[in-house]
Structure 1
Amino acid sequence: MRRRDVLRVAGSTSIVGLAGCASVFETPSASAPPMAGNRPDTVYHPTHYEGMKMAGMKQQDGYKCALTYSYPHRFWLMKPNGTTKVDIQSADSVHIMPVVWDAQTGIIPPDINPQLTITQNGESIDQFAPWPMLSQPMGFHFGDNAQLQGDGTHTVEVSIGGPSTRRTGSLAENQGNASFEFEFEFSESTLDEISYTDISDDKEGTRGAVDLMDMVMIPDSQVPTPDALPGDVRGSEMTGDARFVVTVLEDASRFGGDGEQKYLAVSPRTPYNRTMLPMMSLSVTLRRDGASVFDGILQSTINPELRYHYGTTVSDVQTGDELTITVDSPPQTARHEGYETAFVDMPEIQMTL
């Protein structure tokens, strides 16, 4: 059920606190506790969470890339009929996560689709495209379980493609491909040092979330708080346990409009941690005095101030206008435990601006 199967495609630096754990093939994650009973259809506290380590960091062509890893994870894929669980396989060695961000702004773009090639002693070990994922402690990232060939030095090449999401401002200048090569010294003893935290039985499965980890050298995937968004914030509402914040910018020229048009931006985020929710399809209807004045899709966009959001140009937005936001497709990201029941069934939102 890993991405390469579904699609048929062919010295570490500590980032978080350390704690002793079991061996690579008998990790706490490999024998992860049973799922919490009666999981709510919301964000909830998972049964456990883990830290991670960084194998290196490189910079090229306006991007920085950190290669990180942790214990193998169970996770869920989004399918047309809901989510599908991916269990840990006995041969899985690590959950490997290349984190790529724009060097100037620190924004993590969710559209660069990294490809990983792992070799050892000149021989190919694995080649795959990690899944775009949501995790409570990690936020948005790309990751997958990888099968290494025991201890030793591995070469990991991370290649990223050109962006598929509209970028504005200084981000529009960073449109190229890039590749990064890491020498990854893997050992069971180093993996054993990664922290592993059980959540108490009375807390797991209850509403809430684990805090984002402090990754020190790596930026996070949070979007701005409502009061930090540019423009005139007109309100926010929840659907599918995601919060949607709406703001209106007076000048739409930097978003493809003219100076007399306004820019209507919708900024979805997870509750508790404000992690961005990419890879959605959204449309809106704007009504004034009962008549429709705009009906169309929102375009996914990355902007230095708004960060990842969905937006459109409109002729005008007036106080009292009625806005309907329709989620045509929920976030098409894989989810780690605690997120797999949320952001799936997302009824339309109605707001008075």
Structure 2
Amino acid sequence: MQRRTALRSGLTLVCGASLSGCLGALESDSAWRDLVVDRPEEVYVPPEIHGMATWTSVNADGYDLTLLASRPHGFWTVTGTETNQVAMREAHSVHLMAAVREPTSGRYLPAEVRVSIPRDGESLDRTLWPMLSQRMGPHHGDNVALPGPGTHAATVRVLPSGVRHRDPSTRFDPGVHDVEFEYDPAAIEALERTVLDEDRRGEPGAVEPMGHGRGEHAGGGGHGEGHPAVPTAPPAEAFPSRLGTGHVCGCRVVVALDGNHLIASMRTPYNGFPTPFASLSARIDRAGSSETRPLFESFDPEIGHHYGAPVEFAGGERVTIAVETPPQVARHEGYETAFLDRGEFSLRLPR
């Protein structure tokens, strides 16, 4: 395979893998994005990884919330099948992140996350982008300009995104978290930043998430490396009445039945992260008839985030799972060229 990596013209990397003490050789975060050129249209190994600081973890109003921070860095937003690169600005002080989990299972929950931080007699109000990164998995984040160093208060509002709980008696209501965090610019600057080996970056694959070693077998909660464990989708073998597995939109999709509930669990390759905010449908072809049903974003403590709908099957039907709209989540480097296609795959139910 032709090497896809190159350094920005005029720069020479002489610091080895770790960038501690070497960041002065580069003028900006955007310099590192040029470490990979001719990016493949699939998941690829990014050129570098960022260390993260966990600021606070709380439980309130039915949600677990963890607030984290790293150095500001660029990312891509998604509209339909198009991406738009969001560059960082000089005023940005941190890349602020929030991880939202269902407290009993520790599994990821899609939501809208709004943060309010008092600043100089005013308020920094921001709706964080839903995001996907190879280290953090699904989370929310944005580059923000914080007040000066010190202890700061923040109000974090978690608003349900329309995800349905498999238990009809359970609802996801809005939650409010009042937290405090300590912002130390020197501590953010001291976070590790590592350039990966030249023969890895830009190649198909992914770096390991925080608390690595879980693969697709993470049980949900717990902590790793001082950070909240990154929730991954359960292995295909964990699903009741598994019908089969397909690949679409660059993702792996496990299709299963739980009673009369059709399940499509879509996850990223390599790390098996759930891919939220997509639009899926299922076409059921029977002898002499065909019907198409939307699959709704759903949550179950045992299998986590998935897309599903009630469907009655007699056996022998042909089921086609289609991605109508790819995941509408912002992407960190390594994901920005993937999961942008529509597509479908089919399987036949046993008689």
Q: Place the TM-score, normalised by the shorter chain, in its bin.
A: 0.7 to 0.9
Opposite residue 240 of structure 1, the aligned amino acid is C
Say if 1:157 and 1:22 are closer, same or farther in 2 by CA, change over 3 A: farther
Opposite residue 222 of structure 1, the aligned amino acid is T
SS of residue in 2 equivalent to 1:190: helix
Question: What is the deviation of 1:248?
Answer: 1.3
* CA–CA distance in structure 2, aligned partners of residues 131 and 52 of structure 1: 18
Question: What is the deviation of 1:193?
Answer: 2.7
* CA–CA distance in structure 1, aligned partners of residues 228 and 200 of structure 2: 29
1:47 counterpart residue number? 47
2:329 counterpart residue number? 333
Give runs of aligned pairs for residues 1-353 of structure 1, distance below 5 A. 20=20, 29=29, 31-80=31-80, 82-111=82-111, 113-120=112-119, 123-124=121-122, 126-169=124-167, 173-214=170-211, 215-216=223-224, 218-229=228-239, 231-249=240-258, 251=259, 262-289=260-287, 291-319=288-316, 321-353=317-349
Q: What is the TM-score with the length of structure 1 in the denominator?
A: 0.83
Question: What is the deviation of 1:172?
Answer: 5.2
* CA–CA distance in structure 1, aligned partners of residues 249 and 93 of structure 2: 34
| CA deviation profile, 1:240-275 (whole Å, cap 9, x unmatched) | 2200110112x2xxxxxxxxxx22111100001110
Question: What is the deviation of 1:179?
Answer: 1.6
Unmatched segments (≥5 aa) in structure 1 = 1-17, 252-261
Say if 1:350 and 1:174 are closer, same or farther in 2 by CA, change over 3 A: closer
Opposite residue 199 of structure 2, the aligned amino acid is D
| CA deviation profile, 1:169-209 (whole Å, cap 9, x unmatched) | 3x953532222222222122111232211112221111000
Opposite residue 329 of structure 2, the aligned amino acid is T
SS of residue in 2 equivalent to 1:32: helix
* CA–CA distance in structure 2, aligned partners of residues 317 and 237 of structure 1: 22
Unmatched segments (≥5 aa) in structure 2 = 1-17, 212-222
SS of residue in 2 equivalent to 1:88: coil
1:8 counterpart residue number? none
Residue pair 1:115, 1:128 contacting (<8 A) in 2 also: yes
Opposite residue 84 of structure 1, the aligned amino acid is N
SS of residue in 1 equivalent to 2:343: coil
Q: How many residues matched?
A: 318
SS of residue in 2 equivalent to 1:58: strand
* CA–CA distance in structure 1, aligned partners of residues 210 and 314 of structure 2: 39
SS of residue in 1 equivalent to 2:340: coil
Say if 1:233 and 1:166 are closer, same or farther in 2 by CA, change over 3 A: same
Say if 1:201 and 1:282 are closer, same or farther in 2 by CA, change over 3 A: same
Q: What is the TM-score with the length of structure 2 in the denominator?
A: 0.84
* CA–CA distance in structure 2, aligned partners of residues 138 and 58 of structure 1: 18
| CA deviation profile, 1:265-293 (whole Å, cap 9, x unmatched) | 1110000111001111111112234x335
* CA–CA distance in structure 2, aligned partners of residues 172 and 135 of structure 1: 33
* CA–CA distance in structure 1, aligned partners of residues 81 and 256 of structure 2: 32
Cα RMSD over matched residues? 2.4
Say if 1:172 and 1:110 are closer, same or farther in 2 by CA, change over 3 A: farther
2:15 counterpart residue number? none
Residue pair 1:102, 1:108 contacting (<8 A) in 2 also: yes
SS of residue in 2 equivalent to 1:103: coil
* CA–CA distance in structure 2, aligned partners of residues 201 and 148 of structure 1: 35
Opposite residue 71 of structure 1, the aligned amino acid is R
